[in-house]
Structure 1
């Protein structure tokens, strides 16, 4: 939920568009999250000091994705930001 919230908020605050699409699917053992705002541009992770009210979202997305065997990025045209997370493998009883 935190990753969805961060990607959605970035699209809402920085794209200037009024239409944002969220896609979530499970495929090949991964959860795929895609937030598409249709506006070309690439997110930039910034260093935020401890007093800053914003600027930590992409660092959180990066840390959570890595912690869960995934990654994040932006589509080639810059209109969507995505994240993948490895799903826990089921164990046989």
Structure 2
């Protein structure tokens, strides 16, 4: 099955099926952050396009019960990749999802030069919490996340039927 992100310009995307009908991948070029460090509007739209593609793909594979959490994780990972894919000029980002063996695996790779790292931003900072959000959501769902030391690939695995802890407040 081939699923393409609907609004990615044809010249800036490559979308191909992977090993089976429950896998998909998309790659696209990004311009990189503006001088103020913010994601450009065009690159920001790509994050929304990927989120929309993931939402459709999850619906087709009966994973709608994980929709909210996975869409937040994907948004955070893709936003980080878009933001750090390149310095001045352009870079590329690729997103891959696989559903096999009861696990949903998401991988986001970019062409940046530094490894991702968790930050401890001040309470009034508007950014710097993405990987903390990814960590909290995947842990809550009984999953795990990390990054490949040899590439710029950040990944997470979430069980399709997570055992979510229930907290009772009395």
TM-score range, shorter chain: 0.7 to 0.9
Instruction: Please state how far the C-alpha of 1:40 moved relative to its aligned partner.
Output: 4.7
Q: For residues 54 and 32 of structure 1, do their structure 2 counterparts lie closer, same or farther at Cα, with a shift above 3 Å needed?
A: same
Which runs of structure 2 are paired with 1:9-48 in the superposition (5 Å)? 9-16=79-86, 17-48=90-121
What RMSD over aligned residues (CA atoms) do the two structures have, in Å? 1.5
Structure 2 Cα separation of the partners of residues 29 and 72 of structure 1: 16
Structure 2 residues without counterparts, runs of 5 or longer: 1-70, 163-170
Q: RCO greater where, 1 or 2, for CA within 8 Å and sep 6 or more?
A: 1
Where does residue 61 of structure 1 map in the other structure? 134
Number of aligned residue pairs: 89
1:69 and 1:86 in contact (8 A); partners too: yes
Q: Which structure has the larger Rg over C-alpha atoms?
A: 2
Larger helix share, 1 or 2: 2
Structure 1 Cα separation of the partners of residues 112 and 124 of structure 2: 30
Structure 1 Cα separation of the partners of residues 154 and 77 of structure 2: 7
1:21 and 1:35 in contact (8 A); partners too: yes
Structure 1 residues without counterparts, runs of 5 or longer: none
TM-score (norm 2): 0.49
